[in-house]
Amino acid sequence: MDGTDEGLFSWFTVNFLLDRFGAGPEHTAVALDLGGGSTQVTFALDKDEEAIFRAHDPDSVHEINAFHNKLAVYTHSYLGLGLMAARHAILTADQEGNTSVIHNVCINPIVSTEWEYAGTTYTLKGPKDPTIIHIKEKKGTVAEDRPIVNFTQCLSTVQDYVAHKVYKPKGLSRREINAFSYYFDRAAEVGLIDERVGGVVSLKQFMDAAKTSCNTPNVDQPLMCLDLTIISVLLKDGFGFESKTKLNLFKKIDNHEISWALGLAFHILENGL
């Protein structure tokens, strides 16, 4: 299944389970899916938006018939902006030669960990010139020299990769946003949501969690700083969300799993396949 179909079927599943069909496109929800190799953004267009998107990106506008409601739906799959693909591109951007040992500003100086991608195993380490902060006691004496990720440098590195790769679709922030896959997983892993029931998280909370992770040496989650920074930059600089923008992060709606499977089943029934 290609990214376009995956985006459309996931979007249908979300809006079917939320019972959003029949009241117009402005009442439907946005579906954001962050996979390993690509990320998809999908939402229904009103008449004005449809005209704009058909002029700008006609191949990404699709006619959907949902329960006798005809909707123009925008979906775009960004190959290379999935979490694992973005990780790999950012980590290897300044790779020297064919070495599998990588030093990167988004890795804490205390970390030395192995990571496999596309059949290659890399040894990931922090920068050769580490950032150290001095944690002082109330008396003013230094209690700890803490190695951290320089968040400003890491943020800039991620922004350089994401920049100009995503078209900022207007109208996203005006709609309810439902995000899943790695958005959910990383939020749950750092305690932003309950992994059993999900929750609602703002972009600011993602960004704050990224800063906290980058400032905390953690060999158990050696890539969390990078992952949360990628997610924050994708949402802010890629999709143009504001800090206050809320994302609904749930794996299930009314005890039904959010996936493309339900949307595909409906498509098959509608088309008599």
Question: Any known ligand binding at 38?
Answer: yes
Q: Each residue of 11-22: pLDDT tens digit? A: 988 998 898 887
Q: Each residue of 109-135: pLDDT tens digit? A: 999 999 999 999 999 999 999 898 877
In 3D space, the residue among 273, 190, 207 whose CA is nearest the CA of residue 244 turns out to be 207
Question: Any known ligand binding at 152?
Answer: no
* From 6, 49, 116, 189, active-site residue: 6
Residue that finishes a domain, picked among 148, 176, 199: 148
Q: Each residue of 22-52: pLDDT tens digit? A: 778 888 999 999 999 999 999 999 999 999 9
Cβ distance 34 to 129 under 8 Å?
A: no
Assess if residue 168 is contained within a domain.
Answer: yes
Question: Any known ligand binding at 37?
Answer: yes
Handedness of CA 207, 213, 214, 215 (dihedral sign): positive
49 is catalytic: no
Domain that holds residue 212: 3-83+158-271
Domain count, the chain: 2
Tell me the pTM.
Answer: 0.92
Assess if residue 153 is contained within a domain.
Answer: no
Whether 52 and 162 share a structural domain: yes
Assess if residue 55 is contained within a domain.
Answer: yes
CATH assignment at residue 263? 3.30.420.150
Whether 141 and 174 share a structural domain: no
The residue whose two tokens read 């899943």 is 180
Whether 123 and 202 share a structural domain: no
CA distances 2 to 9, 36, 64, Å, are 11, 14, 17
Whether 231 and 256 share a structural domain: yes
Per-residue exposure over 124-156, b if at least 16 CB sit within 10 Å of its own CB, e if not: bbbbeebbeeeeeeeeeeeeeebebbbbeebbe
Question: Any known ligand binding at 113?
Answer: no
